[in-house]
Chains A and B, each alone.
Chain A
Amino acid sequence: MGDLLMTVVDWSRAQFALTACYHWLFVPLTLGLGVIIGVMETIYYRTRDEKWLATTKFWMTVFGVNFAIGVATGIILEFEFGTNWSNYSWFVGDIFGAPLAIEGILAFFMESTFIAVMFFGWKKVSPKFHLAATWLTALGASISALWILVANSWMQYPAGCTFNPETMRNEMTNFWEVAFSPMAMAKVFHTVTSAWALSGAFVVGVCGWLLLKKRNRDHVMRSLKVGGWVGLIGIVLTSISGDTSAVQVAKHQPMKLAAMEGLYKGEQGQAIVAFGILNPSKEVGDSNDPYLFDISIPHGLAFLATHDFNAFVPGIEDIIEGKSMDADGKEINTVSYADRIEQGKMAKDALGVYQEACKVGDSITMQEQGNAIGDNFKYLGYAYLDKPEEAVPNVPLTFYTFHLMVTIGGYLVLFFIVVLLLLYKPKWIPWKEKLSKPAYWLAILTIPLTYLCSMCGWIVAEVGRQPWTIQDLMPNKVAISDLSAGYVQTTFWIFAVVFTALLIADISIICKQISKKSKTDLNVVETK
């Protein structure tokens, strides 16, 4: 039974990961390109220069194709909480459902109403109304991102709620703590601004291809100006909000931070690994060196995680043992994972007794057990773990994706600075004529790199918090639906085939549209 259950958990996780990854391939471009198109159309509206209208329409084509598949892959995610994670849906529906419902009411209707104006309203509404519709579509996409990220953040840092032993579920007690927790805000800004960076890189990359083909140079320059600036602003804000995110992770998910760094034993003034190769034979508790090779920056992790160069940052083994230190280097004890498992079991047992007492109306026992539940509830999820090591995420996957994300992010800062220098101060760049062709290719290759970076961010966020569906409260194996592994395996492959087929069509259409339109004169508006 245990093996079978794990298989269902694995397939459910695989299906959610598959659909989420596919969805995230399209969402950032919608978020960022919406802003880029909004800026372009605003310039057109202010200058009434038809060239800007042509450029706006060029990018709108890409936006439309990408938007459709984003919508298609998005519907699955919302309903998958119910279909594959039904226990989770019930356990926290009181809290988690609210952001999803607000997303629907506030964001989806805004997007779906005004995108029709954006594409079909050029001759039906005034330019001012059209511009408003374009911005409202972009705003709708961002509001949508806000609420779904609030929901996701709550799973990583369950704030603003309390456990009700009578209904046996978590219930919301403070809406604002759920909606505006520091974890949620950091995640929202980090994710949305990274989408601007991705879209900026996409625009610059496509412009690189157009320059390689020597097509529509004026249109390219217009696009580069907007794409370059949105990209640079996006990546700078992503870096800043990334720092805020890291501080939140250090505070609320220290195990994730330790996995991101491959850190098993922490110390005061902990160094950060700038580059490293993990030792594949390293296990929790053994004496092996975690790295085969590493280049570290002294005090780096301590500063980034806590903004204090001398702070102690616990490693995986420290966290399991419940060891930490205060700012003065004095050893302090947190709760070890073995103790958490015990406390979780006490909460679970008390809950069982509470329910029995509830049936016979034994209010004294209910009071006693209610107190026991309250004292131990924050570790309830550990009751389902057999040993502390089960609460350690996949370290290599978290470590490498985190470092890849940071490396590509750093590259993107430089990339956008160079793009804008080439645009505004070309004299400052030597040998630019000789380097132009490799630079165009570099711009093109930056597109897949940026997507890789974006995807790595999500892998860090989601793999790094395993095995929890809700941090410390509900592990994956308790969150699933009562389904057979074969059922979920079947739907996994159906979605894998369908989404892959749609992705192929999506890429093909975008490439053809860009190629076809770039052969026309993009200094004038197409009239049929």
Chain B
Amino acid sequence: MTHEMLQNYWWLIMSVLGALLVFLLFVQGGQSMLITTKKEKRPLLINSLGRKWELTFTTLVTFGGAFFASFPLFYSTSFGGAYWLWILILFSFVVQAVAYEYRSKHGNVYGTKFYDTLLLINGFAGPVLLGVAVAGMFFGADFTVEKTNILDVQAATISKWGPHHGLEAIACWKNLLFGFMVFYLARTLASLYFINNINDDEVQRNQHKRLFINATIFVVLFLAVVAVILTSPGVEVDEAGAIWTPNKYLYNYLQMWWALGALLFGVVMVLFGIIKSLLNKSYKKGIWWAGIGVVLVVMSLFWVVGYNHTAYYPSLQDAQYSLTLANSSSSEFTLTAMSYVSLLVPFVLAYIVWVWRKMDHTKLTDEEINQAGDDEIY
């Protein structure tokens, strides 16, 4: 494969990882519901989510690691620049990691409520801030990149950011709109997951109600986000340089029929999963329709932001500094070596699905929670 093909291939891998991460954010969506769930039903929800939280966490870490390996200039520019945004995201995931394990253990020092609050923080901040970070790929970020800075002994950093270091990204309404869309998507997926995973009448009733409310808000926000993206300018890159181009993402969808197909097909699958679950109360498989649909939609978003001579991380300071697949990727050798490793991804996905099916073969009930030993419940 040529270097360009490898760059495109790795952007495809990133889109798969990003899409799986968004799907797995149902864990965060579920956590955001705990505080408004009846106390006696909370253990069911927490234990249902608790057996999946590590997958979301691991996907996030792998997503970051893969970005580091394949597009290191994005990694260094975004993480080092939007410092506060990423630190807040990381902080919310740090507290999540211990909250499940510690919340019901004797001697946890701060009490169960404290750890449940940590889950709530992660449940809200995780999806919203990750959405804000990803939105920067569409709407731009406040940075410059000058590689020759490294020759300056006094100020050698090559990627420089505006003075607010990510706080400005959180304050941008377009980014926030994107973030809240991700948040309500996570809550919608969480309801579908609970309907599939928990065998309890009261939880089922409650989650159907929540599904209606969250899915309605999500659909409205999704339509708004799509409208904003399609009418926003993007940075077009050619041999003459980079230039802001009106409706760039709209044209990308029109010029890449397969991306548009994935978007439309994905949207239909998400809506089918939601609507069928709402209309047929005994239908439990909505999470799979919606989940696969979300994966397709998110992948299509990655494709229109990165492919077709588009800068996937536009610089608001000067379009020439914008990051593209070509100017931010690793070398041909590294991408080739990593491509061999990526052949393991289907194998990894296969064993995750296999184990998931084995563990979820029997659905979670109050009885199982009550009969479980101390180490088997959260």
Contact = CB atoms under 8 A, between A and B. Distances in A.
Interface of A: 1-2, 5, 57, 60-61, 64-65, 67-69, 71-76, 78-79, 81-91, 93-98, 100-106, 108-117, 119-122, 124-125, 129, 164, 167-168, 171-173, 175, 348, 351-352, 355, 383-384, 477-478, 480-483, 487, 491, 494, 498, 501-502, 504-506, 508-509, 511-513, 516, 526-528
Contacts of A505: 98, 102, 107-110
A91 to B, nearest CB: 7
Given A477-B156, A481-B81, 14 more contacts: A2-B154, A5-B155, A90-B159, A100-B68, A101-B65, A109-B58, A113-B355, A124-B359, A171-B331, A355-B147, A491-B87, A494-B91, A505-B107, A509-B107
Nearest to B349: A109
A168 B150 contact: yes
B134 interface: no
15 contacts: A72-B98, A83-B83, A97-B70, A100-B65, A101-B68, A104-B66, A125-B358, A175-B337, A352-B151, A477-B156, A481-B76, A481-B80, A482-B155, A505-B98, A527-B373
B149 to A, nearest CB: 9
B54 A78 contact: no
Top 4 nearest A-B pairs (CB, nearest first) are A93-B72, A86-B80, A82-B79, A512-B107
A152 to B, nearest CB: 15
Nearest to B110: A505
A508 B331 contact: no
Contacts of B55: 109, 112-113
B87 to A, nearest CB: 6
Nearest to B106: A512
Interface string B65-93: 11111101101111111011011001101
Contacts, number: 298
A172 B334 contact: yes
Given A481-B83, A487-B83, A57 B375 contact: yes
B106 A509 contact: yes
Interface of B: 51-52, 54-55, 57-58, 60-62, 64-70, 72-73, 75-81, 83-84, 86-87, 90-91, 93-98, 100-102, 105-110, 147-148, 150-151, 153-161, 165, 330-331, 333-334, 337-338, 341-342, 344-345, 348, 351-352, 355, 358-359, 361-362, 370-376
A197 B91 CA distance: 32
B116 to A, nearest CB: 14
B125 to A, nearest CB: 14
A504 B155 CA distance: 40
Given A104-B62, A104-B65, A116-B54, A83 B355 contact: no
Nearest to B96: A72
A124 to B, nearest CB: 6
Contacts of B51: 116, 120
B294 to A, nearest CB: 20
B77 A86 contact: yes
Nearest to A385: B153
A173 B375 contact: no
A82 B76 contact: yes
Contact of A79 (B64, B70, B96, B100): B64
A1 B338 contact: no
Nearest to B149: A87
B93 A93 contact: no
Contacts of A168: 147-148, 150
A111 B147 CA distance: 38
A482 B159 contact: yes
Given A72-B97, A86-B157, A115-B54, A78 B334 contact: no
Contact of A116 (B101, B342, B355, B371): B355
A93 B94 contact: no
B80 A113 contact: no
B57 A94 contact: no
